[in-house]
């Protein structure tokens, strides 16, 4: 099956550009955005009310190459919770990754793509009995645990499972750390291992997760050291552990300085053969998705409040209850680019606002100061602020489009329907690698 549904939605002009030359990824993205906006502006008002994503599957392939270059001995199991778009999952399946699933629904999604259950790691150390039954029936036999009660449940529901003991690890500087919720501390690892032995379960390795958006390679080094220690405990018990799972937490901005340190730590602690796997999410998904939202309303401050520092306000059709939860969860600072209408043949949606209504606002708006805005989501909640402050090089009007890069991680999967706003998003696909 071809992975390229892409240009269904795009205009013929792009198709011919695609056929005739190889555009750089940025250029292709811009063309796709421009073309889709032109298409939307022909549609009814309701059709164009939602933001849309452009996903570049070529970028996913480039991330995979970067992974193989940085961590060639480490087999990635993509963490589905990061972005479960089936087209992305299919692309990853074709690239040869495994999958880290935490729920029945995630396993179902991956299995429905024809992925062999042996490529799925059920990486949730606190699973329901029903989820274990599902996994067993589906043939997903690799899973994690970090507590005694889980072992008792595993004995009843999926006793032939291959088990990874998840140990505690933590990067304090990670965007979101998991150390408080999951992971057995070293002082109880021994009792967990001996309980697993007594229950005649099969411990095949150790896993950890230092936290999502990690930046400190020392957190990996410490966790790898701890894993080696627990490997020793398991071996002494009589198990034959052979898998080291170094979890997720990788991000572009730290990948190149992190990977040599991680590789060295693995080689130091595990000189003999172990299979090393990882559970990257953000690393694969983030940079492949671009979100395009539309300005649906604007509040201009009177000259008086403006002079006291109040910013003009933009309201767009997506916010922290939609695809921008990272603004709150990860304190991410968003910096959209304004879609340049001049380049396209499209007309502004709200013609009356094209020209400022009177001379006085014109002069206010023409000072550079007045291109500073705060940007808000569509809900009625006042925490729904996407950008606190941002300066554009020109005035932003109702109907304008804002382009947010790097929107593939923890966006589609965390969006809610709060306040009645639709959380299903249109995704258009391009592939900057296979043309």
Ligand X SMILES: *Cc1c(COP(=O)(O)O)cnc(C)c1O
User: Which of 81, 157, 168, 298 is close enough to bind ligand X by CB under 6 A?
Assistant: 81
Which of 219/430 has CB closer to ligand X? 219
Which is nearest to 405 in space by CA: 24, 84, 56?
56
Which of 179/281 has CB closer to ligand X? 281
Residue 207: which residues within 8 A CB-CB, separation 6 or more?
A: 123, 144, 164, 165, 166, 167, 244, 245, 246, 247, 279
Q: Is residue 249 part of the contact set for ligand X (CB under 6 A)? A: yes
Residues 116-135 that bind ligand X (CB under 6 A): 123
Rounded to a whole number of angstroms, the minimum distance from the CB of residue 279 to ligand X is 3
Residue 231: which residues within 8 A CB-CB, separation 6 or more?
A: 205, 206, 241, 244, 270, 274
Region binding ligand X by CB under 6 A among candidate stretches 55-63, 64-72, 77-85, 367-375 = 77-85
Which of 235/252 has CB closer to ligand X? 252
User: Which of 143, 212, 215, 364 is close enough to bind ligand X by CB under 6 A?
Assistant: 212
Q: Is residue 83 part of the contact set for ligand X (CB under 6 A)? A: no
Q: Is the Cβ–Cβ distance between 296 and 316 less than 8 Å?
A: yes
Rounded to a whole number of angstroms, the minimum distance from the CB of residue 258 to ligand X is 12
What number of other Cβ atoms are within 10 A of residue 143's Cβ? 26
Catalytic residue among 82, 91, 380, 385: 380
With 0-12 CB in 10 A as exposed, 13-18 as middle and 19+ as buried, what is 256? Answer: exposed
User: Which of 9, 226, 279, 395 is close enough to bind ligand X by CB under 6 A?
Assistant: 279
The 3-state DSSP class for residue 100 equals strand
User: Which of 52, 208, 231, 250 is close enough to bind ligand X by CB under 6 A?
Assistant: 250
Region binding ligand X by CB under 6 A among candidate stretches 14-22, 88-96, 224-232, 278-286 = 278-286
- Count Cα atoms within 13 angstroms, Cβ side, for 372: 11
Cα–Cα dist 408/403, whole Å:
13
Q: Is residue 281 part of the contact set for ligand X (CB under 6 A)? A: yes
Which of 275/302 has CB closer to ligand X? 275
CA angle 201, 205, 207 (to 5 degrees): 120
User: Site for ligand X (CB under 6 A): how many residues?
Assistant: 17
Q: Is residue 150 part of the contact set for ligand X (CB under 6 A)? A: no
Which is nearest to 283 in space by CA: 43, 73, 82?
82
Q: Is the Cβ–Cβ distance between 203 and 243 less than 8 Å?
A: no
User: Which of 41, 50, 100, 106 is close enough to bind ligand X by CB under 6 A?
Assistant: 100
Q: Is residue 248 part of the contact set for ligand X (CB under 6 A)? A: yes
User: Which of 36, 157, 209, 300 is close enough to bind ligand X by CB under 6 A?
Assistant: 209
- Count Cα atoms within 13 angstroms, Cβ side, for 201: 31
Which of 249/377 has CB closer to ligand X? 249
Active site residue 24: no
Q: Residue 36 — φ and ψ, nearest 5°?
A: -70, -35
User: Per the structure block, which two tokens stand in for 115?
Assistant: 């992925």
Rounded to a whole number of angstroms, the minimum distance from the CB of residue 143 to ligand X is 11
Site string for ligand X, 168-207 (x = CB under 6 A): ----------------------------------------
H/E stretch holding 145: strand 142-145
Rounded to a whole number of angstroms, the minimum distance from the CB of residue 248 to ligand X is 3
Binding residues for ligand X, rule: CB under 6 A, are 79, 81-82, 100, 123, 209, 212-213, 247-250, 279-283
Catalytic residues: 380
């Amino acid at each position: 099956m071809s992975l390229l549904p892409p240009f269904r939605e795009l205009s013929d002009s792009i198709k011919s550009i695609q056929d005739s030359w190889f555009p750089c990824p940025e250029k292709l993205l811009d063309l796709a955005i421009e073309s889709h906006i032109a298409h939307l502006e022909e549609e009814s008002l309701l059709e164009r009310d939602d933001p849309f994503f452009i996903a570049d599957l070529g970028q996913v392939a480039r991330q995979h190459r970067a992974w193989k270059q940085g961590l060639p001995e480490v087999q990635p199991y993509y963490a589905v919770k990061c972005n479960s778009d089936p087209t992305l999952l299919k692309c990853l399946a074709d690239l040869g990754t495994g999958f880290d699933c935490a729920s029945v629904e995630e396993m179902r999604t991956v299995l429905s793509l024809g992925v062999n259950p042996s490529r799925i790691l059920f990486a949730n150390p606190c699973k329901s009995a029903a989820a274990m039954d599902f996994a067993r029936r589906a043939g997903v036999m690799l899973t994690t645990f970090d507590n005694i009660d889980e072992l008792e449940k595993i004995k009843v529901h999926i006793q032939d499972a291959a088990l990874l003991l998840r140990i505690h690890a933590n990067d304090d500087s990670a965007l979101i750390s998991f150390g408080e919720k999951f992971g057995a501390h070293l002082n109880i690892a021994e009792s967990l291992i001996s309980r697993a032995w007594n229950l005649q379960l099969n411990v095949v390795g150790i896993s950890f997760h230092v936290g999502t958006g990690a930046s400190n390679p020392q957190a990996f080094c410490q966790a790898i050291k701890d894993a080696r220690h627990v490997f020793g405990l398991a071996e002494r018990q009589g198990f034959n552990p052979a898998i080291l799972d170094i979890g997720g937490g990788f991000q572009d901005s730290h990948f190149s300085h992190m990977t040599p340190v991680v590789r060295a730590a693995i080689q130091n602690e595990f000189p003999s053969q172990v299979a090393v796997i990882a559970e990257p999410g953000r690393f694969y998904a983030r940079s492949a998705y671009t979100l395009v939202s539309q300005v649906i309303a604007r509040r201009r401050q009177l000259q008086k409040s403006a002079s006291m520092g109040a910013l003009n306000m933009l309201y767009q059709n997506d916010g922290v209850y939609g695809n921008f939860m990272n603004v709150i969860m990860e304190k991410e600072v968003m910096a959209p680019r304004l879609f340049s209408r001049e380049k396209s043949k499209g007309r502004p949606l709200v013609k009356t606002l094209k020209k400022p209504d009177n001379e006085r606002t014109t002069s206010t708006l023409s000072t550079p100061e007045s291109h500073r805005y705060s940007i808000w989501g569509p809900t009625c909640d006042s925490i729904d602020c996407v950008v606190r402050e941002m300066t554009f090089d020109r005035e932003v009007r109702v109907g304008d489009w804002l382009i947010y890069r790097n929107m593939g991680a923890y966006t589609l999967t965390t969006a809610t329907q709060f306040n009645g706003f639709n959380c299903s998003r249109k995704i258009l696909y391009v592939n900057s690698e296979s043309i």
